[in-house]
Amino acid sequence: MDLQRKARQPKVDLTLAQVRFLEAFLQDDTQSLIDRCASGAILFALFSRSMASDLRVCEDWRVDLSLEDPSADGFIECTTRSHKAARQVAVQAVSVPLVAAGRGVCNVCWAMVWCRVADLVGLGFKDRQKGPVLPAPRADGAWSARSVTSGELCSWLKGILAKGGLDCPGIGSHSLKHTSLAWCSKFGMGKYSRTLLGHHSSGKNSVKAYARDVLAPALLEYCRMLGQIRKGLFVPDSSRSGRFMNSLSEPLGPPNPAIGRSEVMSDIAPFEEGWADLGEHRHDQFSEPLALEQKWYAGAGSQPGSVQGSQAAQSDVALPEEDSESSSSLSSEVPEGIGATVRRRAVPAISIASKLVGLVTAETDALKTAGINSLARLAFALCPPGQTPSDTQVEQVLGNPASGVSAGTKAAVKRLVFEAHTLIVAELQQKVKHGDEGVASTLAHA
């Protein structure tokens, strides 16, 4: 009987041209505000790797975008308990973070445009109450209290794409979650990073996978991939031999003429009211960090018969130069890609990482002039892991330029410090757990 059953047909991923059209549609002032807002919600689901069900009840919105430099990478995020693992995370009072990259496959920051459109339709993110990312529209054009269903979101997506003359057979709401994850796989991103980005987990480490700070290295890789798409250096829809090239080959047609209120959803019957309240969110509590770098590394790799105590601390504290070939054997739990630089102990990615967070060459050179030529050095240059550098510390490390330091630059440096802290902590955790030889070890006795 099973052999006669019709084969399951998975949903088809969106093409690069379709994603680019969604971003262009959101930016088109001639389109309906309601449909543009829906396009923004669809892009949020796509770039946060979320299913339609994840968007039913969300809260704690954070808009981390640079108003001074729209070309800089940023994020827009919220938390949800309406998730496939909702039962487990509810028991442990942990909400799942949905973090979307603010810049997608076009040069314009789609998230910034969505914020403006959301304000115009009454769904602004400042002090926004718990509720759906995209409420179901009523027949009179107003928003209802409940979220759109997966089927309704899929119909809305297909209607918007149809306005650009783009065929979309086999596309469903789950295509939004899988599209950019498939890009990550084609880009060569490690399995661990893709697991975190897809909000997946295994066994007892599931709650760890939902911790916001654990996502940081994977998000850095994710933004780098999107940047390669924007530059035309990575074309995910091409064949294996043509994915990495010098220019994009897929044209993007202009959106169709303006519409009034949403015509895309006009044929759908009036929506029912009501949505489930899944409980209050409680923020994670973080333990106090250790004050000195030596305490982070002291005895981390100690094993019977190896160097103990202060001698181990002395060798581990020494931060190697960028061209160091030394490496520490970390388990597969450390993220691939960006995490691979952690395996070398000296993280020679300061120039690349600085560019990703929006720092210009002169600001990166100022860091190098101060002796910060790797993320490993940056992790302890301003403040120990677990703390946030002050504005004064940021200004000092940049050399106190006469023109001053903009708020956007300060935010970018602080974010870069956070990324460095995350990598250093990940390395320490793996050294404590597995030691330098990849086997479990214990800390030296006090």
Calculate the average pLDDT of the chain.
Answer: 72
Distances (CA, A) of 105 to 18, 57, 227: 11, 27, 7
Question: Can you give the pTM of this predicted structure?
Answer: 0.56
Task: Point out the residues of the chain with pLDDT beneath 70.
Answer: 1-10, 68-71, 83-94, 201-213, 240-349, 429-446
Where does the chain hold its CATH 1.10.443 domain(s)?
Answer: 11-136+144-183
CATH level 2 (architecture), domain 11-136+144-183: Orthogonal Bundle (1.10)
Contact assessment for residue 341 and residue 349, using Cβ atoms and an 8 Å cutoff: yes
